[in-house]
Amino acid sequence: MAVYQAPGCWPGEAEGRILWVGSQEKPERRSSADRPAEIARLRDALRRGLADIEAWIERQPTLGGRVLLQSCRDALQDPAFTQRVTMLIDQHGLSAPAALDEAAGLVAGIMARSEELAERARLLPMAARWLARRLSGAAYPPGVILAAQEFSPLELLDRTCPAVMAAGEPAVVGDAPLLWGVAAASPDWDGRRARISGTRLIIGEEAEAAMRYEAERRAVVEVARRMKADGLVRLTAGNVSCRIAGAGLFAITPSGMDYDRLEPADICILDLDGNVVEGHRRPSTEAPLHRMTYRMRPDVGGIVHTHSIYASAFACTGQELPVISTELAALVGGTVRCAPYAESGTEAFADVAVATLGEEDVAVLFQNHGVMAVGPTLERAYAVAVGVEEAAQILHIARQLGEPIILPEEERRRLFRARRTRYGQSGEA
């Protein structure tokens, strides 16, 4: 357990898992189909945002806080800024969040050349990001304690979650619990159980709550780490899941997290309709693929989706992977087919993948993407993923040497049955 004493706070008591808030993500630069509606949406968000800032100004006990918020309000109402935002939507078809971000950067750069407008140039990007986040509908999950190096004044006032920051006392005053000046605040705290009590932050094992489905979460973490260590993925690509027997649920890796840093608490628990039942992370973007596979294949207990190099090369040429070795025959039985191209992370992608996988296959290639392996257990699915990549390498090399010999279907099926009934120790085949 670790206890940190903060120099100051906005009082309150809170418990939850720490959610590290890093640098603000830039809004996705996408287009808007209905430009007049997007402009109307922007104006409504700006009106409501300005009204909230006015209310916060009235509640500030210090002159410095009131002046700062008035400057934020003035920055958002700056004519050059509002005209630029509207133009980016109307003429370039950008979405309102993307237009806010781009306009703030352009206008603040011009303002910064003037000493008189230097303060507005500093505040404009911060205020625009705050409004863009509101427009995008982004929300923090319940039961978290936010942590960051620093929060902007608008972020501090526009929240209900408790928070901790390394920066010193803010210029504004708000209500939701806040500890400031906690110099040890670090991304390593992300996901850890913590408690705020007065000016104290308590982090550690004693604060950890009991975790359900721990065995399945740990299994997913272990396979995800092995997947990276064995070279089946790089960086944060791929995903792993495990069915939770008898519960109508599955455990899946979170989106975009380094597998070497994964902990069981990071694993998301979803139901077969795609709802997050437990977990403080965003689940993998390929959750629809896993969900639909479990729904359509009750025999599947584990799924491993990789971007392994050689198998992905076959997928990128739209080729299927014939059974060239006895090892692959024992693992998959028949030819590994290639699903037609579809946008990954979508229901359409999941539909195409599951249709190609069929009722009996245990592996499928995704055109221009990667590989999915399934099995009655997660361990078995991982063995299939390894076997598919090995077979793809062997076939590539064999083609350099001559014409590969493909195993006859009858022999493939015999080897597949033998693997299931005679390989390994009793109860482990």
Span of 72-81, 114-123, 190-199, 419-428 with lowest mean pLDDT = 419-428
Kindly report the backbone phi and psi dihedral angles of residue 270, in degrees, each rounded to the nearest multiple of 5, phi listed first.
Answer: -120, 155
Look at residue 420 and tell me whether its pLDDT is greater than 60: no
Helix pair angle (63-76, 35-59), 10° resolution: 170
Active site residues: 286
Residue 273, strand partner residues: none
Note whether 214 and 49 are within 8 A (CB): no
The average confidence (pLDDT) of the chain is 88
Between the alpha carbon of residue 39 and those of residues 27, 96, 97, 125, 132, the distances in Å are 17, 7, 11, 19, 13
pLDDT of res. 220 = 96
20 membership: H or E segment, kind and range: strand 13-20
Output the pTM of the full model.
0.53
Note whether 159 and 178 are within 8 A (CB): no
Region 1-209: CATH code: 1.10.274.10
Between the alpha carbon of residue 329 and those of residues 179, 307, 315, 397, 405, the distances in Å are 59, 21, 19, 18, 13
pLDDT of res. 363 = 92
The CATH architecture annotation of domain 214-422 reads: 3-Layer(aba) Sandwich (3.40)
Q: Whose CA is closest to 304, among 355, 362, 244, 236?
A: 362
Look at residue 423 and tell me whether its pLDDT is greater than 70: no
By percentage, how much of the chain surpasses pLDDT 70? 90
pLDDT band at 238 (very low <50, low <70, confident <90, very high): very high
CA-CA-CA-CA torsion sign (305, 311, 317, 321): negative
- Reported as a single tens digit per residue, the pLDDT across 240-299 is 999 998 889 999 999 989 898 888 888 999 999 999 888 878 899 999 999 999 999 999
Q: Where are the domains positioned within the chain?
A: 1-209, 214-422
Measured at the CA of 244, the angle between CA 216 and CA 300, to 5 degrees, comes to: 105
Q: In 10 A of CB 252, how many CB atoms? A: 29
Q: Torsion angle, CA of 185/128/139/48, rounded to 10 degrees?
A: 130
Residue 54, strand partner residues: none
Note whether 158 and 130 are within 8 A (CB): yes
